[in-house]
Structure formats: structure tokens, C-alpha cells
Structure 1
Amino acid sequence: MNANSLSISQENPHNFTSNSRRINVQIAQEEVYSFFVEITKKLSPDDVLREFRGLFIDGLDSEDSDYIPGIYSVFLDDNEQELYNTLKRCCYIIVNNWKTNRKDKYIQELVNLFVNDNLKIKTDNAPIVKVCKSWLENFFNSKDYQELKLFAAKYDESSRGHWANRYSSYLLIDQSVNKNNPIEQQEAARKLSKQIKDKFKFELAMYIARSQSAVSSTTRYKNPSVLGDNALRLIKSIVLKKGAFSHENIAHIFIKQTQNQTLEEFKINLEKYLFFSVDKQESVEIWKQQFVNTLSLWKTDYNQEIITKELFLRTCNRVIDCLTIENGKEPSSLFVLLITQGHALTLVIILLKIILICQNSRKHLETRIARLIRFYENYPEDECKGVINFMEIFNITFAIYAENVEYNLIKMEEEQSSNPQLNLDGYRVFSQMKVDRHK
């Protein structure tokens, strides 16, 4: 079995009508997809790479002016986008299989196939070959290729390189919910994002355990955040909120009390809920008023409607937009205001409160986080310290409130003050992985 055995490999179907042409492209695509689904199950990764290279890359340096390289013959009538879609889906059919079968190391070789001097356009290339090479060059320079590279990254070294690499799990979530992506890409992105998050949660739990032990610091587990020793103090202050007045308990009370309210009533109570126990600093009060004004003006035509599950979700999603990236492209003014004034923890806690009352908003929030990362990744790390601090606090907070990890704060020594926040050093955090008894 090889790429040349495909019936589309050496065709030159220039005599088809546009309708027949479209059908021919679809048939060719399905044949190619089936081919790669089959060979990834049966052949070694080296052989799969050889077949991929034979179909999409080999032959692009032919000096024969009449030669049309393999699969490209199907797409030459201004059908670059369809070639693009075919190439992309084939990549993810391979990636998904290799991820499932723990053959991750070969994904880098797949990515590297496009880093090839032979793919550069040369003056003596035939016109058709130049077109084919330009298509591959466009793919190489595209966002899609950058997304493909995420699957080849070594996540034990994710702290190296560009600062945005540390937050790849959110970029992957964005891929997983994008319906324009191939289903194989969505599935692979969903799996890898969960893998990265689970790894962070495990490393955080181990770091907490080791950093509080009396054993030499040389045996400490790696701190998965970049906050240094401040991470432990942050964790303690977050865990303090668990208990009778925990964020979870208050969220349950809010949900019960707002049933059958109108949207107008719900918006008023939502504002009170989100800002309950938030420090009443002047800068936060200004920010709060701006938020209240924005929310009150949203969907005023529906103010007298009884809040439904759908309206509940839309309202929570709208609040997330207001607090992160309102127009889908640039950070909202509220986000910039809080981050620049050093209130990252306040913002993270408010976002957490939204998710505690509406778990269905979780993916919406994570896609907005991904777009924030995409916006700020164009700036050097020195100019993004506030955003990075926000991301680190966000990661830790949501790891602490994860469903499969339980954190508790235990007082280790007596103190005179009744306020535990005044002496966090006298407390230790204990984490425990929960066992899913339903499995």
C-alpha cells in the first residue's frame, strides 16, 4: 500500500465541469482520508510519514514542465482552500492516532516535513510546481500550522521558549470547540488539553506536599507555576475560602435564591453575588461601577422575562466577555483596568464565581482566555507581566477548585489572632486526589 496506489494520484482532470469538479474533489478527499485512517492503524510511524511525504511533498522539484505532482492535480482549478483542508485533516488523522497510541515523538517529525528547503520556490520550477509550493508555503505560515506545532511540544519543557507556551491548554481548548476544524483536530486538542491540565494539577499537589515538608529543599517537587514561593501563600489564601462561607456554598445559595426571578432582578443579584467579600478599595469600586453599568444595559428588552436556563447561560457568558475580551479580538477595558491596577486575584475570583454557578460557561471562559493569550503573545514577556501574573493565579485557582482534587488548610500551631489570614505560615495545605466511585 502506498500513496501512488490512490486513484487520484496521477489524474489531471481539467475537462470536468465545475459541478463534476466539486464532486471529484470530494471523492478524492474521502479516499485520502480513508487511506490515512487505514495506514495509521497498520503501518509504523516511519512508513506513515513516508506515505504522507509521497502524497504531499515528493515530486515538487520535478523539472518536467508538464508534470503535475500527485494529489495537486485535483485542486489546481483555484482550489487552494480545499487542498489546505485536505492536508490539515490528514495531519490530524495521523496526530490523533499517534496521541492515542503514545507515539507522540513522531509528531515532531510530521511537523518538520514542512521545514524543507526543497519546498522553497525556485526560479527554474515549472509554473504548476510554483503554485503547489506556494500553497504549502501558505500553510507553513498559517495559524493552522502553529496550532499543529502545539501537538509536537514537549510539555515537560513548556516553560521554555515563548511565555505563551506555558498556557497551551487554553489554546487547545479553543481548537477543540472550533467547528471549522476537522473532527480529528477537535478530539486531539480536547485530549491533549486535559492531559496538560491533569499534569499541572498533579505537579501542584506534589509541590505543595514537598514544599511544606522538613526534608531538604533539594528533594522538592517542581513548582509548576512561575510565582516562586509566593505560590504557596496564594494557595493558602484561596483554600481559606473553603468552608461554611466557601465560594461553592455561596454559589449554591445564589442559584436557589434567583430561581424564577426576572432578568432585571437576576442582573442586580448577580452583581451583589460576584462582588460579595471583594475588597472595597477605591480602584475596585470604580471598576465595579463600570461593570454594573455595562451589565444593566445588556438585553434591557428582556428585563421583565423570567430567567431561563438559556438566559442564565447567556448572561454568564456575557459577564465573561465583559471581564476578558469583549469584542472577540481585544481585551475589554475592564480586564485592562484590573490587570494594570494589580487586581488579578480579584478578577480570577469573580470569574471562578461565574463558573461555580454555571459550569456550562467553562469552555466559553477558556476560549476567551485563549484569545487573550493570542492577543498578548505578540508582546515581549517584560511587557506582559500583569497578564502572566493573572494567568498563573487563574491556573492555580481553577486547579484548586478542580473536581478531582481536594485541598484542606490545617492549623499547625496556636496563635493569638482569630484571623488566620494574619499568620498563614502557621497553616499547612493538604491535597488529596478524589476517587471517582462511579467508575
Structure 2
Amino acid sequence: MTPNSLSISQEYPHCITSNSRQGNVQIAQEELYTFFIKIVNTMSPDEVLREFKAFFIDGLDLEYSHYIPEIYKIFLNDKEQEFRNTIKRCIYIIINTWKTHRKDKYIKELINLFASKNLKVKANYFPGVNICKSWLENFINSKDYQEISLFAAKHEELHKGHWANRYTSYLLVAQSVNENNPREQQEAARKLSRQIKEKYKFELAMYIARSQSTVSSTTRYKNPSVFGDNVLRLIKAIVLKKGAFSYENIANIFIKQTQGQTLEQFKLSIEKYLFFSVDNQELVKTLQQQFAELLSLWKEEYNQEIITKELFLRTCNRVIDCFTTQNGKEPSLLFILLLTQGHSLTLVILLLKTILISRNSRKHLEIKIAHLIHYYEKYPEDECKWVINFMEVFNITFAIYTENVEYNLIKIEQDQSSNPQLNLDAYRVFSQMKVDKQK
């Protein structure tokens, strides 16, 4: 036993003596979690790092060692997955607490504990030590470790490297609802996803404000999208839809008009609602036909049931599936049809209209977006430009319509045309925080 491991062995001797002999993994795990919950709330980050290293790394990070840390002995009977679950949860207990208390800089130090080259398996080495090292090496090369590394990266770093990194917030939403993940990971993923979205929302609002001002460009905020200054025209075009016949108002009318309908009637109503006012009529005809076929076959046995809140939600979730991915693996035919023909905004508006009548479907949609990112991330950026374009339009549109920032279009120049879309340069976009009327 190394000197640094004395603290836990003294406080929880049952964990690394009795249980290491009896192989009672579950009791040992719970005592270990209790220990880390206690120390991360009472000790300094440096002390917590020392305790974690004493448990899982000390001895294995030496160039030559016959020492097997006590914690590994509990799992040595072919229980590598249990070991991985244990170290993963201990890490998230620490991360979640440090995130809450804004001690983010120490999370990177925690991740860096695994950087030692001596943790790699070596040939002709003590077999027991090699087993422990192989477990750590497998963990470091796993998806679990990649997910953990997200919490150590700074916001700017999340947007570097692979193109999918720009959409980390959706991957974190998927982590936060995955019941196979420890609750600490779910909570940490929720917090980080929310932070990333808030930062995007703030950067977008500030970029719009500064890019339309006469202040020197050196004071301009970073554009959070990949569209460059062209993003302003897109934003103006989207904001133009907000008015008397806005998507929000039409959604409210739809909700009232469909009360008391059967599922069969509701399917027809939502089909008309979604495709109402879509500009390209030839596209609408093809889309509407394919969509109607998909939705009409769903839950036919409930067609004569009066729509309930639960059935309303499930139907809206099914609509989202039709436009994104139906099996959580491959993209749907409607998704491919719309994007490959350059109709990203049309698809985003269809999804937005669905969320505006069913706010509780937002998380379901974001999980589906995460599934699509996972599907396409194996392809290089050049082959995914149409998917990236969709993601950017999606981020901007949902920031305008579903967040607590109000965007308005104000005319600043006289324009002979009665159609503002003909001269968007005559308008400026202004943003302000929405007032919570419930307070």
C-alpha cells in the first residue's frame, strides 16, 4: 500500500480489506462513491487529485513496478466493465461538484492524470500489473473517456478539431438522458450543455448588435456561426416571419383547434399545419405525400382515440422522427430528401413548428440531432457541408424562436417596395431579453 492511499484505507477499511477478499463489488463501489462525495466537498482540489491518483494510478505510473493498487484487486476476477463503471462514476462525482463551484481548471488536471506513458502495457512485464494497465489503457481509448474529456476543454477548444465538435451541446443532451450513465454524468452533461447554449445565445445577440453598429470592428464580438457576415441576412429573413401571422400565433391557434380531435383527425390536422405556407409547392407535394404515409401508419389501432396530452406529445415526437431519424441510427428519407436538395431552412421550420406546439418535445428533438451527428461524424467536413449548413440554420432559428431573447426587425431606410424581403439591407435586427410575464 502506498502512503497516499492510507487516508481512505483508514476511513473505509472495509472497502479495501474485507471486500477485496470477499469480492463484494457493490459494497466496495458504494463506499468508494461515498468517500469521494465527502472529500470533494470538504478537501481542496489538490488534495482530491492526490486521493484519486492514490487509488487508481499510483504504482502503475512507475517505469517498473510489481505493485497492484488495492482497488484493482476487487475487480480482478474478469470484472473490467465494473472497474470502468467505478472509475467513471468517481470522476463524474468530482467533475460535477467542481463544475457547480466553478473549479473548472482542476478538471483538466484530473484528466491529465492519465497522460503518463508508463500506464501503457509493456511486454514481459508482471502479469497482474499489465492487467491493471490494460484496463486503464482501454478506458483511455474508450468513448467514455472521450465524453469525460469534453468537460476539461475550454469553450473555444470545443469548436476546434473535428467539425462535429461545434455541436457538442446536443451530444451532451444525449448523455444527460442516457440512463446507463451515472447520475453524476447526467447532471454534469445537463449543466455543460446549458452553458454552451447560453454562450451561443449571448454571442449571437452581441454579434448582431455590434456588426450593425459604426463602432470599430476591433470591438466586434465573435460570430458563433460558420456563415460569416452573411448570417445577418439569414437572421433578417427568419425574423421577418415574426408578426401577426408568426409561427407562434399559428401554433397557438392549432393547439386550440385540435382539442377533442381523434388521433386520426389530429394526424390530418398536423399534416396541414406543418406544410401550410411552405413556399415551394412542388416540394410540398412530394414531402406531404411521403410524410402522410409515414404518419398515417403509426399507431393505427389508436386512430379513434381522443387525443390526450400524452398522445399529443408522442405524435409530435413521431413527427420529429420522420424528419430526422426513425431508428436513432440512420437519417430518415425525408431528412436526406430535404437537405440534399438544399432545403435546410424548410426542414428547420418544420421542426420549429413542431416544437412550438409541443415544447416538451424539445429534448426528444435534440437527442435525434445527436444521433444524426454521431451518424455523420465519421465523414470528413467536405462531405458533410449540407449537414453542417442544416445544423447552423437550426442553431440560429431556435435561438431566435425558442430562447429568452426577443429579436425584432426595424426599418431604418425608406424603401419603395412593400415587400421587406426585397431589400433586407433597409432593416436592422435588434435583440432584447424577454420579460417573464408570470413573475
TM-score after normalising by structure 1: 0.94
Segment drifting more, 265-274 vs 279-288 = 279-288
> Counterpart in 2 of 1:7?
13
Equivalent in the alignment of 1:381: 381
Q: C-alpha separation between the residues in 1 aligned to 2:264 and 2:437?
A: 41
Equivalent in the alignment of 2:301 = 301
Counterparts of 1:130 and 1:322 in 2: how far apart (Å)?
49
* Cα distance between partner residues in 2 of 1:143 and 1:90: 17
Pairing 1:360-375 to 2, within 5 Å after superposition: 360-375=360-375
Per-residue deviation, 1:367:
0.6
- Letter of the 1:90 partner, please give it: C
Question: How much has 1:186 moved relative to structure 2?
Answer: 0.9
Query: Following the alignment from structure 1 to structure 2, what is the Cα–Cα distance between the partners of residues 266 and 404?
Result: 30
Partner of 1:359: 359
Q: Which amino acid aligns with 1:31?
A: E
CA contact (8 A) 2:275 2:284 kept: no
Q: CA deviation at 1:12?
A: 7.6
1:193 corresponds to which residue?
A: 193
Moved more, 401-410 or 422-431: 401-410
Cα distance in 1 between the residues matched to 2:160 and 2:110: 22
**Structure 1 position 421 matched with structure 2 position 421:** yes
Q: Deviations over 1:316-354 (max 9, x none)?
A: 111111111111111111111111111000000110111
The aligned amino acid for 2:373 is: I
CA contact (8 A) 2:317 2:361 kept: yes
Aligned equivalents of 2:152, 2:250: Cα separation in 1: 42
* Aligned ranges 1:276-425 → 2 under 5 Å: 276-425=276-425
Matched residues in 2 for 1:418 and 1:15: separation? Answer: 83
CA distance in 2 between partners of 1:158 and 1:412 (Å)? 38
Please give the secondary structure, in 1, of the residue aligned with 2:431. strand
Change (3 A) 1:437 1:41: farther
- Asked whether the equivalents of residues 19 and 28 of structure 2 are also in contact (C-alpha less than 8 Å), the reply is no
Shift of 1:219: 2.4
Letter of the 2:103 counterpart:
K
1:342-389 deviation digits (Å, cap 9, x = unpaired) = 100000011011110001111000011111111111111111101111
Q: Is the 1:260–1:306 Cα contact (8 Å) retained in structure 2?
A: yes
Give the partner amino acid of 1:121. Answer: V
Q: How does 1:148-159 map to 2 (within 5 A)?
A: 148-159=148-159
Matched residue of 2:13: which SS?
Answer: coil
Q: Which whole-Å CA distance do the structure 1 matches of 2:158 and 2:435 have between them?
A: 29
Hey, what's the Cα distance between the residues in 2 that align with 1:61 and 1:314? 51
Amino acid at match of 2:7: N
Q: Which amino acid aligns with 1:248?
A: E
From the superposition, tell whether residues 311 and 52 of structure 1 become closer, same or farther in structure 2 (CA, over 3 Å): same
What SS does structure 2 have at the residue aligned with 1:378? coil
In 2: Cα distance, 1:245 partner to 1:270 partner: 17
Is the CA contact (8 Å cut-off) linking 1:61 and 1:125 kept in structure 2? no
Matches within 5 A, 1:72-221: 72-221=72-221
Shift of the alpha carbon at 1:123? 1.8
Offset, 1:114: 2.1
**Partner SS state of residue 224, structure 1:** coil
Q: Is the 8 A contact 1:4 1:55 kept in 2?
A: no
Relative distance call for 1:313 and 1:350 in structure 2 (3 A) is: same
Deviation at 1:10, TM superposition (A): 4.8
Ranges in structure 1 where 5+ consecutive residues have no aligned partner? none
| Secondary structure in structure 2 of the residue aligned to 1:431 | strand
Give the secondary structure class of the aligned counterpart of 1:417: coil
**Whole-angstrom distance in 2 between the partners of 1:71 and 1:268:** 60
- SS of 2:384 mapped into structure 1: helix
CA contact (8 A) 2:409 2:427 kept: yes
Could you tell me which residue of structure 2 aligns to residue 232 of structure 1? 232
Judge conservation of contact 1:3–1:54 (CA < 8 Å) in 2. no
| Distance in 2 separating the partners of 1:13 and 1:89 | 19
Change in 2 beyond 3 A, CA 1:15/1:55: closer
Separation in 2, partners of 1:117, 1:26: 31
For 2:259, give the aligned amino acid: Q
| Structure 2 Cα separation of the partners of residues 25 and 301 of structure 1 | 47
Q: Deviations for 1:218-263, whole angstroms, at most 9, x for unmatched residues?
A: 3222111111112111111111111110000000000001111111
CA–CA distance in structure 1, aligned partners of residues 275 and 257 of structure 2: 16
Instruction: Report Cα offsets for 1:264-312 as digits up to 9, x if no partner.
Output: 1101110111111111243443233211211111111111111111111
The AA in structure 1 aligned to 2:368 is R
Q: Is the 8 A contact 1:410 1:428 kept in 2?
A: yes
Task: Classify 1:10/1:305 alpha carbon distance in 2 versus 1 (closer, same or farther; 3 Å).
Answer: closer
Residue matched to 2:32: 32
CA-to-partner distance for each residue in 1:25-73, whole Å, 9 max, x for gaps? 11111111111111112222222111111101112267676x5421011
Identical aligned pairs, as a percentage?
Answer: 72
Q: 1:201, CA displacement in angstroms?
A: 0.6
Question: Is the 1:84–1:139 contact (alpha carbons within 8 Å) kept by the matching residues of 2?
Answer: yes
AA at the equivalent of 1:289: Q
Give distance in 2, aligned partners of 1:365 and 1:64.
Answer: 50
Contact 2:68 / 2:132 at 8 angstroms: preserved in 1? Answer: no
Secondary structure in 2 matching 1:424: helix
* TM-score, normalisation: structure 2: 0.94
Secondary structure of the structure 2 residue equivalent to 1:389: helix
